[in-house]
Structure 1
């Protein structure tokens, strides 16, 4: 449990009560800075009759999922962060008590993981615009700025200092793509780009990465793309000359830098280039709600 997360602070007792109500005993371990999360998770997963549960935001869930990748053992999720993208796309209920019930009574579902240079992500990864914004936001928070104010100021600064990065994208069997783009965004499966569903995924197990870029985009064109998506004019997004999307299973991004700042589920890491992305189909098992099967009604004629 990441008790430093705003959604988790002071809620340890609530978590324990939710599991008791579902007939399960839980042992809460609070994550601390510089803790070896992977070692902690793997040791817990080896204990008999133990299910590892990640309680926190997408960053915490991603860290636990990375340690569980390929083990064949399922993990549980208590979405207690700010945005909780993974939990929403998985179809988990919003209430803590209901999430605990899913862990107790749900089914283990296999979902995909994205991977870049040996590091995993459950939602997305990016270089360019977003990592720069997050780094500035964290610097402001360290000197005492409010979380939301620091996000607003960092976003405005990134937009004012808008710039392109030079990338070479290589997809097996295809010609190399040289681009000047403000970002390279990689989704673990496809992201919706229209209306109220914008930023969500309908599938977590399609076995595909989705690569998004905006070569030659300006501040104005990015605003236009964003507005078109929010207004459900998805055809305008897809036909915009500044927007490109590719469905792939693996590819390489070369930024011509020795080390690059890369976002993995909102957390910023430094990775040596080039960045080698690939999909890991079904690499993670996670407790999810049991699908509701609609009854089939047959009309019988006399």
Structure 2
């Protein structure tokens, strides 16, 4: 029986899981050899330093003035002090070896979870698509800092036989109505070069008439394009789908009757987006607003019912068109959805009651008690302070909607035309679950 190698990916995953556990155990043993002459105190100081650093991050985000400055200093000083203690205590060599072993354990664990047959994720498959005869593309010249002009998207689209409708930035245009008019005039494909919010509005019209939809990555972040495997660096390559494309069937979200392709956010993030200065200075606006919001000042908490499961008094709630692979709110890596055709909403709720829980969230990530991760077919959101309107961010657009706000999903409702030759999607890093690693290493039945 083959237990490892390329011919047996599950067997290879099993051995990688065992190597991960062995390396983690070795890291602990190396540290234990230093537990003499004050080594225990140094080890305890290391754990305390990690907790204090997490508390410092919370103070920096949730307060202003001197306490914010103190939080920044604490977040930096705690790990520096721990490193100094290791050097002075003479255990720096043990610490370096343990760190290397722990790095090897993490690498083996993640590799094991990525193996085919272990994570259960399969890439979306495209189907052959006919070349559209009368494609119509709606382009926003301001989107993405002027990508439409910078990449010559109008000219390149027209060269491929498309009719381009260029929006006037000085006017408030109903893009959904433009799309419906194009359909009435015989368009057999609709497309958008613009942000995800505009993409969603036109995508809903395309889905309504069962027409192919073309995504041109001319927005700022292009999250939808990212998960479709499109080239975000050069949006002009998306136009190749008009002459050599294939079709993906993907899900389309609905919130209070409005379509969304990425996420609907409530609570802290939605309140940040409501600030008028958000679009010009996103990071600065968020940093200035977070103290009031995290401490329950101007930001109301929200209650949600997720397919019958209650989530009460959440400070932040994110509902996504299909779940994210690694739902870690503190991760700096771009969030990715492995599939857009799974037929389920992803739900991430955060409820942090002070510095202790914030430290737990920083240290334990997806395993923290303050983080709720679910999937659902239907999510109903209300304000825990009453029946008043809710601040909502739909694909990054700030809205105010009457409660309750209901999110649902239309499975495989959208036909997306993508270039046959495109970068594709990179499998996201799976959540690191040591219980899963242990099961994989020793119990054959855990693999599916």
Q: Same fold (TM over 0.5)?
A: yes
Q: Residues of 2 paired with 1:214 and 1:140: CA distance? A: 22
Q: CA RMSD in A?
A: 2.6
1:203 aligns with 2:339: yes
TM-score between both structures, scaled by the size of structure 1: 0.80
Question: RCO higher in 1 or 2 (8 Å CA, sep ≥ 6)?
Answer: 1
Q: Which runs of 4+ in 1 moved over 6 A?
A: none
Q: Cα distance 1:10–1:284, how it changes in 2: closer, same or farther (>3 A)?
A: closer
1:66 maps onto 2:224 in alignment? no
Residue of structure 2 aligned with 1:192, choices 304, 311, 325: 325
Residue 28 of structure 1 aligns to a residue whose secondary structure is strand
Q: Determine if contact 2:264/2:318 at 8 Å carries over to the other structure.
A: yes
2:165 maps to which residue? 28
Match of 1:284 in 2: 414
Structure 2: gaps of 5 or more residues:
1-138, 423-448
- The aligned runs of 1:61-140 (5 Å cut-off) are 61-94=199-232, 95-136=234-275, 138-139=276-277
With over 3 angstroms needed to count, the CA separation of the structure-2 counterparts of 1:291 and 1:139, relative to structure 1, is closer
1:167 correspondence with 2:275: no
Shift of 1:237: 2.4
Which digits, 9 at most, give the CA deviation of each residue in 1:265-301, with x for residues without a partner? 0001121110111111112111123389xxxxxxxxx
For residues 333 and 278 of structure 2, the distance between their equivalents in structure 1, rounded to whole angstroms, comes to 31
Residues 175 and 201 of structure 2 are in contact (CA less than 8 Å); yes or no, is this contact kept in structure 1? yes
1:180 CA displacement: 2.1
CA contact (8 A) 1:182 1:217 kept: no
**Helix, strand or coil: the match of 2:145?**
coil
CA separation of 1:2/1:130 partners in 2, compared to 1, >3 Å: closer, same or farther? same
SS in 2 for 1:263: strand
Q: Which has the higher strand share?
A: 1
Q: How does 1:224-235 map to 2 (within 5 A)?
A: 225=361
Unmatched tracts of structure 1, length 5 or more = 142-146, 229-235, 293-302
Is 2:374 the partner of 1:246?
Answer: yes
Residue 196 of structure 1 deviates from its aligned partner by 7.7
**Aligned residue pairs, count:** 273
The residue number in structure 2 matching 1:266 is 396
Partner Cα separation in structure 2 for residue 41 and residue 132 of structure 1: 30
Alignment partners' CA distance in 1, 2:400 and 2:365: 31
